[in-house]
Structure 1
Amino acid sequence: MMSPTQAGPLLISGVKPVGFGKGVSQEATDVLIGADGAIATIGSALQGPDGTRRIDASGAFISPGWVDLHAHVWHGGTDISIKPHLCGIERGVTTIVDAGSAGEANFHGFREYIIEPARERIKAFLNIGSIGLVACNRVSELIDMRSIDIDRTIACVEANRDIIIGIKVRASGVIVGAWGITPVKIAKKVAKVLKLPLMVHVGEPPPVFDEVLEVLGPGDVVTHCFNGKAAANIMEDEDLFLLAERCARDGIRLDVGHGGASFSFKVAELAVQRGLLPFSISTDLHARSLDNPVWDMGTTMSKLLSVGMPFEAVIDASTRAPMEVVGLPTENLLSPGTRAEFTVFDVKDSDIRIVDSMGDSAHLSRLIEPRWTILGQEAVKASRYEPHRTSALESSACPHCGWISAR
């Protein structure tokens, strides 16, 4: 329920729009949001009616609400998921997409106990493995054919199409074992039947990255696209890089999916230098990546900025691009009559030391830091996550997935 202080019109002054698409001026402006949560007007020196609350955001940017296309928030239902508020509205993220924490056997609990009560909008890719990530890599969700129930998976999607936006499969040797590419092919067939995209986690073979890309089609998502794993990263094999370029041109979506073991500064920098940008930026936040090395969405965006991805492209890959995957409107987001859903953020000079999933460190000279999350006429104070200061180099996370102890 909205508090009395959140009722009535809201005026956000002095913000610079970014990420709203062509035709939207990036000059500083004021945004007046009516008591109904819809944008009333946009312009300079706005006053608003009596009782209007005012946020002075001079110098800050305003974008569509950030969308994290890959996180894990089935808290209590898996042993690695975090509570949505840790990576959601309080971090500038208005939409969280859970990437396969739940399978058909436990999605109902995820919906009832996490998705429906959450303040954030939560969508989901349904894991092709019936048990999802209940016990993570200790118990693979893809042990053998008994792990997949196609009929029940289809029924689960049909009963929850308002939430489920696609199918998820993890294509790593530690998950699929001798199955190789077979689970990916099954997941792709199910996704085609349901007319939904497939998201594939790529990691160490089998299967090899090349095999995965050959199965996918336009609209499908490859997450962990800039991982640095041997025999699995796009910069160690020229043929694979050229294949990834072709697939991206053909509409296969390359997603960052940072995570505990799936993002390399070196791979990302080389790819960006050669013009291969990610379609979407996501965190793969979970209990073992939250404090190291990911932290939050803003820090992940800042890492892509640091390797040479243009600022406007970073914002688009964190807003309108993943919104397209989720099925949210992407046009007229800053027009009168549209329900307000924004992230207000700063880009600050910084010298903060951060690490990637490989343990390589860097200093961020510019840091994207959320200030406010706007949902209708409600304004929620947002900030960066403050991690516990355990060195990522001392982490006991698994080198394959970042989720289980390697010692």
Structure 2
Amino acid sequence: MAPSPILIRNVRPVGFTPNTAPQAATDILVGTDGLIKQVGPSLIASPGAQVIDGGGGYVSPGWTDLHAHVWHGGTDISIKPRHAGLERGVTTIVDAGSAGEATFHGFREYIIEPAPERILAFLNIGSIGLVACNRVSELIDIRSIDIDRTLAVAEANRDLIVGIKCRASHVILGSWGITPVKVAKKVAKILKLPMMIHVGEPPPTYDEILELLRPGDIITHCFNGKAGGSIIEDEDLWDLVSKCADQGIRLDVGHGGASFSFKVAEVAIERGLMPFSISTDLHGHSLNGPVWDMATTMSKLLSVGMPFEAVVTASTTAPMSAVGLKTENLLGIGTKAELTVFDLVGSDLKVRDSQGATATLKEMFEPRWAVMGSNAVRAARHMPKEGTAVVCTCGAHN
């Protein structure tokens, strides 16, 4: 079927200028080539156009999930992209290390290239990636890393690989400590790419990891509540994290099955430490609880005191900038349309964090449409069925 023009009516742009209030309601016309043709009030629909009624809700740059796992079939933990992508309001999924150098070719051919969403990837420093996540560690010892092949795969896939991923906690590394983080950072430096580091149960300690990072690198699971890994249990660590964030090290939420605490997030935000980016760490053990989707994760950050506009920025242009995507003039004439249409609605939904603490969300982000070029997809939050939640109690899953 040939693409048709898309007319989005009556939406308030937000997030196109970071951390600013929504603009007045407008219409947006997208051509059959997927490019924005007009922006303004009371636009006339082109013949045969698909009309989307925004109902006075919001339109933002396409939601970008900086940490998910979508190498479905190639790892035992990944989900299908559709469960995290356009149908959930997300136009860009960044896979956080599901594939290593030995498996990335399959990830590219069978998942990334066919997907309607944009999928980018942090390449796992461990050659096998998350093939059998935590049942078989990708970082048992130095035999798990092939620097030459990792460099070669990253160079051959520069269009998709946006950084190097290393999971740095004792349930993954055993007694190996900080060494794989050092190796990963060296590889990232050679490639001139950022590094994403998973922080969790020490060793290595959060402090040791931060000493290796540079502006542009990413700490994911920044608000985890694990003993020895929480930023609010140690004032020296708090001061160091705050200093590093001020210097350009990026704090990413990475909710996941075991890595987000309402208490840690609320205290941090109250003290002025905002996450750079909001991400889900969606995978097979977090989809049906406690994460669900991007919109619910955004709503959780809103509930603990993060301003609405800051939540939108941390879910759009901030993560886009972290992986080298264009962040300027996203509503400009001639720009490819990558948009999320959503509402903010009243709610009494009870949710939990990764430690089992519960909260009632008074406001919810509700995705309505995701527009990727000339493709407009109806979007909605994930609604897990009763009894489908998978709860990880071992602490090993993200």
On whether the aligned pair clears a TM of 0.5, the verdict is: yes
The answer as to whether partners of 2:260 and 2:354 remain within 8 angstroms in 1 is yes
Match of 2:7 among 11, 30, 34: 11
Structure 1 CA distance, aligned partners of 2:247 and 2:297? 26
State the AA in 2 paired with 1:18: V
> Identity percentage over the alignment?
67
Instruction: Check if 1:20 corresponds to 2:16.
Output: yes
**How far does residue 273 in structure 1 lie from its aligned partner after superposition?**
0.1
Structure 2 CA distance, aligned partners of 1:81 and 1:173? 22
Match of 2:169 among 163, 168, 172: 172
Other-structure match for 1:270: 267
Structure 2 CA distance, aligned partners of 1:389 and 1:302? 21
**How far does residue 378 in structure 1 lie from its aligned partner after superposition?**
2.1
**How far does residue 41 in structure 1 lie from its aligned partner after superposition?**
1.0
Structure 2 CA distance, aligned partners of 1:79 and 1:25? 41
Counterpart secondary structure, 1:267: helix
Structure 2 CA distance, aligned partners of 1:100 and 1:329? 23
The answer as to whether partners of 1:203 and 1:400 remain within 8 angstroms in 2 is no
The answer as to whether partners of 2:21 and 2:309 remain within 8 angstroms in 1 is no
Other-structure match for 1:116: 113
Instruction: Spell out, residue by residue over 1:239-292, the C-alpha distance to the aligned partner (whole angstroms, 9 max, x if none).
Output: 111111000010000000000000000000000000000000000000000001
Structure 1 CA distance, aligned partners of 2:21 and 2:268? 29
Instruction: Check if 1:217 corresponds to 2:214.
Output: yes
State the AA in 2 paired with 1:230: A
State the AA in 2 paired with 1:162: D
Other-structure match for 1:38: 35
The answer as to whether partners of 1:292 and 1:390 remain within 8 angstroms in 2 is no
Structure 2 CA distance, aligned partners of 1:344 and 1:252? 30
Instruction: Check if 1:300 corresponds to 2:301.
Output: no
Counterpart secondary structure, 1:351: strand
How many equivalent residue pairs?
397
Distance 1:20-1:34 versus aligned 2 partners, 3 A rule: same
Other-structure match for 2:282: 285
Structure 2 CA distance, aligned partners of 1:135 and 1:95? 25
Instruction: Check if 1:397 corresponds to 2:392.
Output: yes
Deviating runs (4+, > 3 A) in structure 1? 22-25
Map 1:124-163 → 2, pairs under 5 A: 124-163=121-160
Structure 2 CA distance, aligned partners of 1:287 and 1:111? 20
Structure 2 CA distance, aligned partners of 1:169 and 1:378? 34
State the AA in 1 paired with 2:4: G
Instruction: Check if 1:238 corresponds to 2:235.
Output: yes
Structure 2 CA distance, aligned partners of 1:228 and 1:391? 24
Structure 2 CA distance, aligned partners of 1:398 and 1:129? 25
Between 291-300 and 19-28, report the one with greater CA deviation.
Answer: 19-28
Structure 2 CA distance, aligned partners of 1:24 and 1:34? 27
Structure 1 CA distance, aligned partners of 2:68 and 2:107? 14
Instruction: Check if 1:53 corresponds to 2:62.
Output: no
Counterpart secondary structure, 2:24: coil
**How far does residue 52 in structure 1 lie from its aligned partner after superposition?**
2.4
Structure 2 CA distance, aligned partners of 1:200 and 1:25? 33
**How far does residue 402 in structure 1 lie from its aligned partner after superposition?**
3.1
Instruction: Check if 1:184 corresponds to 2:181.
Output: yes
RMSD: 1.4
Distance 1:24-1:277 versus aligned 2 partners, 3 A rule: closer
Other-structure match for 2:75: 78
Counterpart secondary structure, 1:63: strand
Structure 1 CA distance, aligned partners of 2:114 and 2:4? 24
TM-score (norm 1): 0.95
State the AA in 1 paired with 2:397: G
Structure 2 CA distance, aligned partners of 1:54 and 1:74? 34
Instruction: Spell out, residue by residue over 1:108-142, the C-alpha distance to the aligned partner (whole angstroms, 9 max, x if none).
Output: 11111111111110000000001101111111111
**How far does residue 396 in structure 1 lie from its aligned partner after superposition?**
4.5
**How far does residue 15 in structure 1 lie from its aligned partner after superposition?**
0.1
**How far does residue 391 in structure 1 lie from its aligned partner after superposition?**
8.1
**How far does residue 33 in structure 1 lie from its aligned partner after superposition?**
1.2
Counterpart secondary structure, 2:276: coil
State the AA in 1 paired with 2:54: A
Between 195-204 and 380-389, report the one with greater CA deviation.
Answer: 380-389
**How far does residue 178 in structure 1 lie from its aligned partner after superposition?**
1.0
**How far does residue 55 in structure 1 lie from its aligned partner after superposition?**
1.2
Counterpart secondary structure, 1:31: strand
